[in-house]
Amino acid sequence: MRILKDFNIPDFKFPKLKMKNVENIDEVKVDYEAITKKQNEEKRKNKNYEQSDFKTIKEVFLRSQEKFADKTFILEKFNPKEAFKEITFKEFGNDVIALGTALVNKYNLKDERIVIIGETTYNWYLSYMAILCGVGIAVPVDKELPPNEIQNVIERSKATAVIYSAKKKEAIKKVEDDLPRVKYFIQMYSDEKLVGRTVGFNTVLNEGKEMIKEGDTSFTKIEIDPEEFKVLLFTSGTTSNSKGVMLCNRNLAENINAVSAYVDLTEEDRLFSVLPIHHTYESTIGFLIPLAKGSSIAVCQGLKYIVPNLKETKPTAMLAVPLLIESLYKKINATIEKSGKAGLVNSMIHVTNALKSVGVDIKKKVFSEIYENLGGNIKYVVSAAAPIDAKVGKWLQDIGICFLQGYGLTETAPITALTPDFDTKIGSAGRAVTCAELKIDNPNENGEGEILIKSETLMIGYYEDQKATDEVIKIDEEGNRWFYSGDVGYLDNEGFLFITGRSKNVIVTQNGKNIYPEEIELMLGNVSEIKECMVYGKEVEGEKELVVSVKVIPNYEDIEEKYGKNLSEEQIYNIIWERIKEVNHSLTSYKAIKNLEIKKDEFVKTTTMKIKRHAEISKDK
C-alpha cells in the first residue's frame, strides 16, 4: 500500500555470548527414555495434523471465548516503564462484544466501511474483531501513509467511520474537513465524549458495556455470511498502483484451517508480533490463528525493543520478514565471532546434527545462550513476503529452531503455501496448503514459469475494478478460478514450491533469456560488505540491451572492520566491485552484473520491507 522511505532495521544489540555450554557438552544430560518416546511420536506424526473446519471468524471468536476464557491472549506494554499487561480471552471477548454493540446500535454503523489506522495495539485488535464479527467491512490502513493518502483511502473505500491511534491524530485533523461522508472519527484510548464527529474509543466501549448490562444481546446474534465482503485491503503496490483487495470471512477462516494441518500450535504457544498489523500476513497469521488455537500474542513495542521484549515475553514463535531474520542472524553470529568460538560452534552444529539424526536432540542445551537472547522458548521462526538466503534457514535449523517459510499474497488472504513443521525443506516456500492447488504456467526448460493459484483463500476480486480482476483471475473449463500471481517459480517432485523471481521484475535479454534479479540478490546477500542491494535492468543510451546493474548500500561497519577507517568513496566502491566480480564468476555470462551504483540513501520500501523497485528505477529516469 505504501512505501516506507525511512524504514530501517535498527542497530539492536545482543550481549556478548560466551557459549559455555558448547565447551561443556559432556555435562549435558540426555534423557533416553524421553527420546524413545519422541521417536515413536514422530513415526506417528509424519502426516498432516487434524484440521479445523471453520467457516467464519465469528465462529472462531465465539469458540475461543468458551474454550480459552481464562487463558492469557494479549500481552502488551502500555507504559514503557511498566511490565507487560496480560489480557485474557474472556476480557478480550467481552470488550469485542461491547464495542460491536455500541458501533451497531448506538452509532448505526452496521454494514458500513470502517477504516482502522494505527500501530499494533489492543484497541486495533478489538476494532478488527468487532467489525469481522458483525459490524461491517474492515479497512485496515498503513499507519505510515501521509495525510493526503490517508484521505485518498478513506474516500476510495467510502468509509463512514475512522478508528485511529493517538499518533495519527494530527494526520486525521488535517483531512477530516475534506471527508464529509465520514460520520465518526474514533480515537483509540481516548475518553473524549462525542463532540461533533469525534469521540473517544473508551467512551464507545463503555457505552457498549452499559447497553449489555441493560440486556442488549443483539450483537452476538448477528449471523455472518461466509461469502460476504468483510475486509478491504489495499495492496502495497510494489509493481503497480495499489488495488483494493476484497476478502470474505471464508477467505480468512480457511487460512486458519489450512495452517492447522501443517503447524502444531497449542495453548502453550506464544507468538511475537513485530510486523505491521494492517498487513494481511500479520493480521491473519499473527492474530486470527492464535485466536483459534488458544495461543497468546506478545506485542513488540517497536523494532528497537526486539531483544528486551523477547526476553520479557518469552515467545515460542515469531513471524518475520527476511530482512529482519537476516539481521538477527548476522547480529548473533557477529557476537559469536567476537567470542572467539565460531569454529567450535560450527563443530558442535555438526555433532548435534549427527546426534539428532539418531534421535538425540541436545541442541537447545548446547546453544542455550542463543536461545536466552531470543527469550529462551523459541521453537518456530516463520519467514514470508520475500525470498531468504537458504543458509539463514539452515543455521536456524542447525541450532534447533524449526524454520518455516510461507508464500502468499494479499489476494490470497494470504497463505497459499507453507512448510509443514514435520517436513521442512530449506530453500522452498513450502507445499500448497490443503485448500489450495498450485501449478506452473508455460514452464521453461528448468520447469520455471508463472505460479498459478487455485484456493479457498482467493479474494472475491479487486474493489471497483472488474477489468483488473479479470486480468489476474481466469476461469478454466471446469469452472475453477485460477489466480495469475505474477511470481515465477517451480515445483519439485515432492510438491514443494521454489520462488525464483517476479515476472514483472524479469530482465529479458535480446536473445530471449530471462534474468531474475532475486536470484542474483540472494547470492549478493552472502557478501558481508553489502548491507542491502537491488538488481535491475538499467536503460543506457546507445545500448540495445538493458544493462544488468545493482544498487548497493554498503555495510560500512563491516568494511571499516576489515579494511580500516576513513576510506574514500572510490575505495569503498572498488572493494564492493571486487566482491561483485567474485559473484559474477558463479553466474552465466549474460547474468553477470556490469554496473554498480553506491546508494547514499535508504531504499524505498513497502511495509513488509520489500524494495519498491519501480520507485527506485524511476529515480534514474
Please work out, in degrees rounded to the nearest 5, the angle formed at the alpha carbon of residue 502 by the alpha carbons of 247 and 384: 60
User: 195 by DSSP, 3-state: which?
Assistant: strand
pLDDT digits (tens, 9 = 90+) for 361-377: 899 999 999 999 999 99
d(CA 513, CA 547) in angstroms, rounded, equals 13
Evaluate whether 552 touches 598 at the Cβ level (below 8 Å): yes
- Residue 86: the pLDDT is 98
Tell me, what's the pLDDT at 612? 84
First to last CA, the chain: 23
pLDDT band at 39 (very low <50, low <70, confident <90, very high): low
**What are the backbone angles phi and psi of residue 281, rounded to the nearest 5°?**
-60, -50
Which of 26-40, 219-233, 523-537, 585-599 shows the lowest per-residue confidence on average (mean pLDDT)?
26-40
Residue 104 DSSP symbol: H
For 408, the enclosing helix (H) or strand (E) is strand 402-408
Regarding predicted confidence, which is higher, 10 or 590?
590
Q: List Cα–Cα distances, 214 to 63, 110, 209, 344, in angstroms.
A: 24, 20, 9, 68
pLDDT, greater one: 587 or 495:
495
- CA torsion sign for 384, 386, 387, 389 is negative
For residue 374 the three cell numbers come to 531470543
* C-beta of residue 152 within 8 angstroms of C-beta of residue 237: no
pLDDT digits (tens, 9 = 90+) for 328-367: 898 899 888 888 888 999 999 998 998 888 888 899 999 9
Angle, nearest 10°, between helix axes 556-563 and 569-584?
100
3 confidence band (pLDDT: 50, 70, 90): very low
pLDDT recorded at residue 62: 98
pLDDT of residue 146: 84
pLDDT of residue 114: 98
The pLDDT assigned to 304 comes to 87
Residue 7 has a pLDDT of: 38
- How far, in Å, CA of 301 to CA of 274, rounded? 8
Q: Looking at residue 292, what is its pLDDT?
A: 98
Q: Is the pLDDT assigned to residue 44 strictly greater than 50?
A: no
Lowest mean pLDDT among 22-31, 136-145, 474-483: 22-31
Please state, in angstroms and as integers, the Cα–Cα distance from residue 330 to each residue in 365, 396, 599, following that order: 21, 12, 21
3-class SS letters over 215-256: CCCCHHHCCCCCCCEEEEEECCCCCCCCCEEEEEHHHHHHHH
CATH architecture of 505-620: 2-Layer Sandwich (3.30)
Instruction: Report whether pLDDT(239) > 50.
Output: no
Quote the CA–CA distance of 508 and 546 in Å, as a whole number.
8
Residue 616 contacts residue 551 (beta carbons within 8 Å):
yes
pLDDT recorded at residue 12: 65
Residue 484: which H helix or E strand, with range? Answer: strand 481-491
pLDDT confidence tier of residue 30, bands split at 50, 70 and 90:
low
- The structural domains of the chain, with segments of one domain joined by +, span 85-253, 505-620
Q: Over 60: is that where the pLDDT of 268 sits?
A: yes
pLDDT at 356 (0 to 100): 87
Confidence band of 2 (pLDDT split at 50, 70, 90): very low
Sheet holding 244-248, edge to edge: 198-200, 184-187, 161-164, 113-117, 137-141, 229-234, 244-248, 461-462
Does the 85-253 domain belong in CATH 3.40.50.12780? yes
Cell matching residue 285:
497469521
Amino acid present at 138: A
Task: Give the DSSP letter of residue 426.
Answer: T
What region, left, alpha or beta, does residue 499 occupy, with left being phi > 0 and alpha being psi -120 to 50 degrees? beta
* Interval 481-503 mean pLDDT: 92
* 25 has pLDDT over 80: no
Q: Across residues 250-261, what is the average pLDDT?
A: 97
With a pLDDT cut of 90, the percent of the chain lying above it is: 70
Q: How far apart are CA 451 and CA 137, in angstroms?
A: 30
* The residue type at 96: V
pLDDT averaged over every residue in the chain: 90
